[in-house]
Chain A
């Protein structure tokens, strides 16, 4: 008994961290109605600021040296003391100042512009903010950061409370601090005018105005308060947690959210108590697991600790979901429209061929071989992003667990393939049925579907941001219950699972060549075909009854059930289908990696995936393809890394991704794909009118001969592929030129037929271009020139290229911001005068 009490008491230490962060989450929710996924990241930045100042005498501003120009040289690193350390108190004040800055930035740059956005937009923006802070911290502080010193005394207390054991003194201090923090916050909201106004504003913004506060200023103050408490908590309580990394601190968001939810996102004392209890129970389970979970429960030993927050979150939300406060005046905006996919098969044919061609070009292409690998990566992530388009784009269910579905599929497949022989870097044999790859892959996808349906169950009752919270807790649970659970995977000490090479009729379709490089075209074709099938499936869903039911549920659950749609079953179906597609992606990732470890599927990747899918356009198939192409390790980063030598784009990818995600959420929720489609459409129209033969073929395609035209297009495309592949074998120059011309003509025709809409006349097409350029051209040009002027930077050549491009991008962004402020957003969903309808109009009668 004594030992149980002792363990519970020790657990209060980690519990204080959950409690203090949870209290901060309640603060930002009170202030702005945002469930802030970036809370842990904000705490993290403040804490590392304190630590670098104190122990290294340096200050890093919350951005990175991405704009290293001569003229505009952003300072990033400031030396406070050349001796390498700074006194503690000034460091603390500095860190708190930093947290004030970050809190203000969160309000003014991120959440204030989004105050009327759909919940998904806010989730994406806070994920974007997390990625941004995390990326900046990794660049500025590094991940192998020396462990910060604790500022509270930590000599053990002997025979604590007569329990007969030594007890860590710092636990006593941090619990005391947390309780004090909770009490102070509680007092602020209970007794001060500011607190009263905040509570009034949470119910009805007019209330705050009556008390003489502007709601937006109140929100800003609350953000600062949240940020400062987060930083304080991380500095004082953080070191108790053991190893601290930027990513590790960010991950604390899940238990902190559990604590905040226990407090109903409203009560700080209950949130603090909940957080403390959560930590105590977790630690107790941790210390007792080997005696409590034995026999058939042994497999629970590793994961049970992380399952506790999930259980708490689900229970709280299901029991009191309805009673959670929702802010009064904020009208909920809808997600962007889901465009009807057009000419999907043709599009698909086109890019399958394109990818195949590139796969052959980059096979064994010296330093260019990395592109072959990047295409493989892009394919895999595009598939997983399609699963997000289906679930989040069409049905509006925010899921932060897509990577977990993928991981489930990959790991289960690997296990089904295992046959008791040690392979790869795992020399310890993993037992298993040793099934052939197609069966193992199908079983893997089936396992993902089962897990998806399981996660769908809470979604029946829980909606919006709250569902996002459940999914992230679920992702972490699945990770420690299955992927990292060597009881189940038999992978000791984190060795990766081995995936056997797939083959078709004796031909290998694996990703790796004999040189152990990801370069085999066969795998690209395999992946492209799977991606195409998934894309066509999603397109068919959008076009038919299932898709209508999905969108109906997304638009209005009440009306959907009145129209005879079973909302619960529809959501479950969406989760199942989405998990299946994510599972296919996971299986492909397994084949690509050959060895997969749980790190390939961490929950953080799910966040990035959602964010990049949103960046591309969460409601469209093209958005998923775009997202896949720009994701880490995929085509665009690899390409820019290679051609803009030394940019180290990978290094900045998280920062840039986070930044652009926030921008997308604010300025262009339809995503980037829509933006480019406009330009592509003009290009297509133009091609139709200028390329001989294109119009004929295009018109024929609209008629009954559609299939014939498609066949012709396919033949032309494969001709092109063969030509590229065999170009080196053609000796005669004349033949070569003629064939090339023919091939390029064919390619232009194909592009025209696929992209071109209503065939314009030559003049109309020209005017289209002119219109497009006059719309975007001037701003882009000004930005480009500005970038060029700012260019001459520290020695490197690459910025000559990208500074103007960046300038053009920023100029376009500023243009759209300006137009938004000046003219209001060109909103596709202008609110309808529904409110007015409720007033019965009787006057006209008689």
Chain B
């Protein structure tokens, strides 16, 4: 049984089915990718899994637990964390504190310890925060504010924050958007490293080079439906995927995504 299983997952906004009968399996220890044109419903899928938007139908099980009725923070405690496409960092906290806030597991009485014996409660989490900082090369910036940092670094803070709690599965929403090719490749290497430390990853990105290179398995979403899935090699050759990207191309971004896919395809083959 996979670590995370969605069955018939449907999310409707008014009449629009942003996700329609989506079945996705994320196997433990694997890096699973989700691609699709703009507005395909990728972010909606992450929102649905992490409890930010209600399901209209379907079920999600994580690690054998049915997630229905669980709030986002409860899901995070189960070991399911995410990043945001629009970052959503805690701008008033230093980089380290951003991570600490996510790493610490608060109990009802933690505030008493914190007031009476400050520092006692957080020792347990220092190490895992340091690890996450090191993993993304943020250690030297630990005491800066996110708002003072470059866009690429801010992206990494978002990823580091999701990793800091040592989750079982991290859902990454376009972590490479806005990074240059080199940064993006570096991120890809890092993601593979995390896998070897026993974590599972789910990656959404428009950077086809990244997705096709690092993922073990890929799902393709269009208009809220899964139109294809398979290993990168299979997906790359799938005619429906190429059609979705080249066919009803509505916007520039879509077209360029298609180009990117083609280029990537050519490079690989």
| A interface residues (Cβ-Cβ under 8 A, vs B) | 334-335, 337-338, 537, 540-541, 543-549, 551-552, 554-556, 558-567, 569, 573, 577, 828-830, 832-834, 836-846
Contact = CB atoms under 8 A, between A and B. Distances in A.
Contact of A842 (B82, B146, B260): B260
B115 A541 contact: yes
A837 B87 contact: yes
Contact of B253 (A541, A552, A573, A840): A840
B192 to A, nearest CB: 18
Contacts of B106: 545-546, 549, 565-566
Given A563-B81, A829-B91, A842-B253, A837 B260 contact: no
Given A562-B72, A563-B165, A841-B207, 18 more contacts: A337-B145, A537-B115, A545-B106, A545-B122, A555-B89, A563-B73, A563-B161, A564-B73, A565-B106, A828-B147, A829-B147, A834-B86, A837-B86, A837-B155, A840-B206, A842-B253, A846-B259, A846-B263
Contacts of A545: 100-101, 104, 106, 110, 114, 121-122
Interface residues of B, number: 65
B154 interface: yes
10 tightest Cβ-Cβ pairs between the two chains A and B: A846-B263, A564-B76, A563-B102, A840-B206, A544-B114, A559-B88, A561-B72, A548-B101, A540-B118, A555-B90
A846 B85 contact: no
Interface string B161-172: 100010000000
Contacts of B92: 334-335, 337-338, 551, 554-555
B121 A544 contact: yes
Contacts of A832: 87, 91, 146-147, 151, 154
Interface of B: 38, 50, 52, 71-73, 76-77, 81-82, 84-93, 97, 100-102, 104-106, 108, 110-111, 114-116, 118-119, 121-122, 145-147, 151, 154-155, 161, 165, 174, 177-181, 184, 206-210, 253, 256-257, 259-260, 263-264, 267
A842 to B, nearest CB: 5
Nearest to A544: B114
Nearest to B266: A846
B180 A551 contact: no
Contact of A552 (B86, B93, B119, B181): B93
Contacts of B181: 844-845
A573 B101 CA distance: 16
Contacts of A334: 91-92
A845 B260 contact: yes
Given A561-B72, A830-B147, A843-B256, A837 B121 contact: no
Contacts, number: 173
B29 to A, nearest CB: 22
B264 A563 contact: no
B104 A842 contact: no
B73 A846 contact: no
A397 to B, nearest CB: 15
Given A545-B110, A558-B88, A561-B71, A842 B206 contact: yes
A316 B102 CA distance: 34
B96 to A, nearest CB: 10
21 contacts: A334-B91, A334-B92, A335-B92, A543-B119, A544-B118, A545-B114, A547-B114, A555-B90, A555-B93, A560-B101, A561-B72, A562-B76, A562-B82, A563-B101, A565-B106, A566-B71, A828-B147, A830-B147, A833-B151, A840-B257, A845-B260
A540 B115 contact: yes
Nearest to A833: B151
Contacts of B260: 842-843, 845-846
Contacts of B210: 845
A828 to B, nearest CB: 7
B148 to A, nearest CB: 9
A558 B86 CA distance: 11
B101 A552 contact: yes
Contacts of A567: 73
A830 B106 CA distance: 31
B90 A552 contact: yes
B212 to A, nearest CB: 10
A34 B181 CA distance: 46
Nearest to A844: B181
Given A337-B92, A548-B101, A846-B264, A838 B206 contact: no
B234 to A, nearest CB: 20
Most chain B CB neighbours (cut-off 10 Å) among A545, A547, A830: A545
A548 B97 contact: yes
B69 to A, nearest CB: 15
B100 A548 contact: yes
B73 A551 contact: no
B167 to A, nearest CB: 9
Which of A338, A544, A839: most chain B Cβ within 10 A?
A544
Contact of A845 (B102, B108, B147, B263): B263
B105 A839 contact: no
Contacts of A335: 92
A564 B102 contact: yes
A551 B93 contact: yes
A669 to B, nearest CB: 13
A573 B112 CA distance: 11
Contacts of A828: 147
Contacts of A845: 181, 207-210, 260, 263-264
A483 to B, nearest CB: 29
Contacts of B110: 545-546
A548 B210 CA distance: 34
A362 to B, nearest CB: 33
B49 to A, nearest CB: 11
Contact of A564 (B81, B108, B115): B81
Contacts of B174: 840
A47 to B, nearest CB: 43
Contacts of B77: 564
Nearest to A839: B253
B208 A842 contact: yes
A653 B178 CA distance: 53
Contacts of B207: 841-842, 845
Contacts of A566: 71, 73, 106
B127 to A, nearest CB: 15
A434 to B, nearest CB: 31
Nearest to B209: A845
Nearest to A545: B104
Nearest to B97: A548
A565 B101 contact: yes
A795 B177 CA distance: 71
Given A844-B180, A845-B260, A846-B263, A540 B114 contact: yes
Nearest to A335: B92
A837 B178 contact: yes
Nearest to B205: A840
Contacts of A573: 111
A565 B165 CA distance: 12
A499 to B, nearest CB: 27
Nearest to A834: B86
Contacts of B118: 540, 543-544
Nearest to A564: B76
A554 B82 CA distance: 20
Contacts of A537: 115
B174 to A, nearest CB: 7
A833 B178 CA distance: 10
Contacts of B72: 561-562
Nearest to A554: B92
B256 A842 contact: yes
A845 B81 CA distance: 28
Contact of B177 (A548, A552, A554, A837): A837
A64 B244 CA distance: 72
A841 B88 contact: no
A551 B93 CA distance: 7
Contacts of A546: 106, 110-111, 114-115
A619 to B, nearest CB: 9
B267 to A, nearest CB: 7
